[in-house]
Amino acid sequence: MDCPGGYVIPALDMARSVYAKGLKTIVQTGDGCHSSCSLIFLAGNERVANGVLGVHQISGSDDPSVTQTVISEIYRELVQFNTPSYLVSRMLRTPPDDIYIFSPEELEQNSINVRAGDGSEIPHLLAVETWMRKDWLVGVS
């Protein structure tokens, strides 16, 4: 996966599909998965970030009610994806105009990377299109 982020609703839809199909996700060395891309990455039943994984708060709406609704939807999906609370905490504490980049040690020590029982490399099975380049909440009704 190599994407700077984009719309949150399509990213959640893609993440649900990845999760439902039991796909593996990977950020290859030299690639970066930021913002809404991380939601898709976290949906992988096996997931490994050898590249850069970055998260932050959502942005794009002046309506606190809409923002809260979307945050609750994101949270519900992240729980279903077995996302570590460490990552969720970092996401919610990082301002939308900033990005929190996880170190390789954080990815391993906090169970963000999840591998098959044998620890083998995961092949790159899912590419995220870079059309997801807009603010997270743009287009939310």
In the prediction, which pLDDT does 126 show?
34
Q: Output the pLDDT for position 60.
A: 72
Per-residue model confidence (pLDDT) at position 53 = 97
The pLDDT, as a whole number, for residue 69 is 86
108's CB contacts (< 8 A; 6+ apart) are none
Looking up tokens 């059309």 gives: 131
Task: Give the per-residue pLDDT at 117.
Answer: 66
Which pLDDT does position 141 carry in this prediction? 35
**Beta strand spans in the chain (E):** 24-27, 32-34, 46-49, 52-55, 100-101
Using 70 as the pLDDT threshold, list the residues of the chain that sit under it: 117-141
